[in-house]
Structure 1
Amino acid sequence: MSRIDETRDFIPIGIAVLAVSDTRDLTQDKSGDLLEGRIKAAGHYLIHREILRDERTEIAEKLRAWCADPAVDVILTTGGTGLTGRDVTVEAHRDVYEKEIEAFGTVFTMVSMHKIGTSAVQSRATGGVCQGTYLFALPGSLGACADAWDEILNWQLDYRHRPCNFVEILPRLEEHRRRK
């Protein structure tokens, strides 16, 4: 069972948020607003926040640039995870991943099933790792972003969460680069 170990100190991390949309700008990005608020309320740092069109190469380039930024530990994208022809965020993520976190999509689907039933099958939420940075592609809806943060990321991005969490293994994500 998940729990917070109060004997451990909280470790804030740097998080970047990228909204993917052909129709919105930052003033209309309610999902980004929600994530920004939750990130700050949790005690983490918002390092970057931007919006890009649904263009696979542009999204992948931004992800790579943020992965190269030592201040960024986690990248959250919202939007472009659906099934339509313009939804290319998942493909852009997978262009960048060194490793995919397959269980993230599975757990997200399980959480979504409780809220939206079988409509959860239409989501392609995904997670992965690149250059020692975690990346998570979330659907663009407010509800999906709230569910992903409240039910999964809030816990996994808290060093005090037991029995394990993403923060405690963050320093080891690039240990393969140090091997000789």
Structure 2
Amino acid sequence: MTQTTVREFIPVRIAVLTVSDTRTLAEDKSGDTLVARIADAGHILADRKIIRDDRDDIAAILREWCESKDVDVIISTGGTGLTGRDVTVEAHRDVYEKEIDAFSTVFTIVSMQKIGTSAIQSRATAGVAMGTYLFALPGSTGACKDAWDEILVKQLDYRHMPCNFVEIFPRLEEHKRRK
């Protein structure tokens, strides 16, 4: 007879960044959606900001949060499309040490079930930097719901099996340990 190990939930500290030239906090439905889901899942909102579509400014706040001991995960919303002002993906990649390539694939699969071939226009991405996970989601509320409900709520839950992002937190920076 095998024993099933029951793991206790580990809350994660998550910062939310909305990238927009036009939205204010009062109008940030996608940010509100993420904040509500973070709380409902039992995680901690570490910080929340709105920033304009500027690659250097976005990368600067991502780096600042990655350096903070109070932030484990960063989720940005907005700026992942194809227009000239959409620079969030480039800013994320300026910060990444490693890209989580499969996130884009899984997000596209989830999106295809909801919006069909329009999913091809998303450049959602994810990566790791300085021991912090970073996720860049589209600016639509529906896309934020889909990414959270179908991917992130599970991967940011230590109890999710067979594996999840939380259980490898301690190993994200093992290459920096002295041998």
Q: Same fold (TM over 0.5)?
A: yes
Consecutive unaligned residues in structure 2, runs of 5 or more? none
* Secondary structure in 2 matching 1:72: coil
| Alignment partner, residue 10 of structure 2 | 11
Are the counterparts in 2 of residues 6 and 160 from structure 1 also a CA contact under 8 Å?
no
Alignment-mate amino acid for residue 46 of structure 1: L
Distance 1:118 1:32 in 2: 25
* Secondary structure in 2 matching 1:129: strand
| Alignment partner, residue 147 of structure 1 | 146
Equivalent positions of 1:23-172 (< 5 A) are 23-172=22-171
Deviations along 1:23-50, whole A, 9 cap, x unmatched? 1111110000000000011000000000
Distance 1:94 1:150 in 2: 24
* Secondary structure in 2 matching 1:86: coil
TM-score (norm 2): 0.97
Cα distance, 1:179 vs structure 2: 3.3
Deviations along 1:27-74, whole A, 9 cap, x unmatched? 110000000000011000000000000000000000000000011100
Distance 2:73 2:20 in 1: 20
* Secondary structure in 2 matching 1:161: coil
**Structure 1 residue 177 corresponds to structure 2 residue 176:** yes
Distance 2:174 2:145 in 1: 32
* Secondary structure in 1 matching 2:14: strand
Runs of 4+ in 1 over 6 A off after TM superposition: none
Cα distance, 1:6 vs structure 2: 7.4
